[in-house]
Structure 1
């Protein structure tokens, strides 16, 4: 800040300070404008929704573990069976509500024909939830 003095050394020098008062006034006006207009920007409709009580449905779908080994033998939850037996079990399981999920594990060296036949049998029976189970790929340096 510049103080007045009785000597003439710096009397004619320009004042090198920024006047902050107009800046603060503008900022306060903008703040008031935003405070007033912010509630007007929300377009909410006030509704009185009906009240209802319902119990949550937590029916967990059963799971079928179907495995096919390298020789093409099918296993239903660890029990060996033929293609015809698997098709009969698929038909019986398709009638259940909720429908079970089929988790298919196939050996990487099994013929694709066996996997395709199994998928076709499950589809013909009406089972829609079929998932393939694989081992995750491990990358070097991954945790």
Structure 2
């Protein structure tokens, strides 16, 4: 890089003005790069999601039906119609799964494990429902589903 010197009457003093041309060149190049790359980042992969109003559940005798509600902020979990604590829920889940595996002829002959169907009140906090899901997964259940009420006039 060279420094420009000059002045009036042959004076050899440096000029104190900044040459902004290289700065403008760099900024224009960066602007062009951003203009090119931003649309690429914003593009998404088109995915067609399923349109499902509701799916009828297959009711089997071995499926576990839980109802969960939280009146007054206290979580209440019901196994069928019996209120259970978290430990009782775990114990019952393990026992139900063990009984079903024995009924099918042992672990080597299991074709399909029972499911957990949860009916949760609309006003139930997630911690109540999430706790029940976690407990049932600890018991060994791999399929947990939610029972909902279809929208009136929703068809399906």
1:122 matches 2:136: yes
* Mapped partners of 2:70, 2:121: distance in 1: 5
Larger Cα Rg: Structure 1 or Structure 2?
Answer: 1
Unpaired runs of 5+ residues, structure 2, are 1-59, 102-111
Per the normalisation by structure 2, the TM-score is 0.48
Aligned-pair CA distance for 1:70: 3.1
Higher helix proportion, which one?
Answer: 2
Distance 1:89 1:76 in 2: 9
Match of 2:76 in 1: 73
SS of corresponding position for 1:85: helix
- Choose between structure 1 and 2 for higher RCO, CA contacts under 8 A separated by at least 6 residues: 2
1:131 offset after TM fit, Å?
1.2
Output the CA distance in 1 between the equivalents of 2:85 and 2:96.
Answer: 16
C-alpha contact (below 8 Å) 1:93/1:99 kept by paired residues: no
Partner of 1:134: 148
TM-score w.r.t. the length of structure 1 is 0.52
RMSD of the alignment, in Å?
2.2
**Stretches of structure 1 lacking an aligned partner (at least 5 in a row):** 1-59
Pairs aligned (count):
83
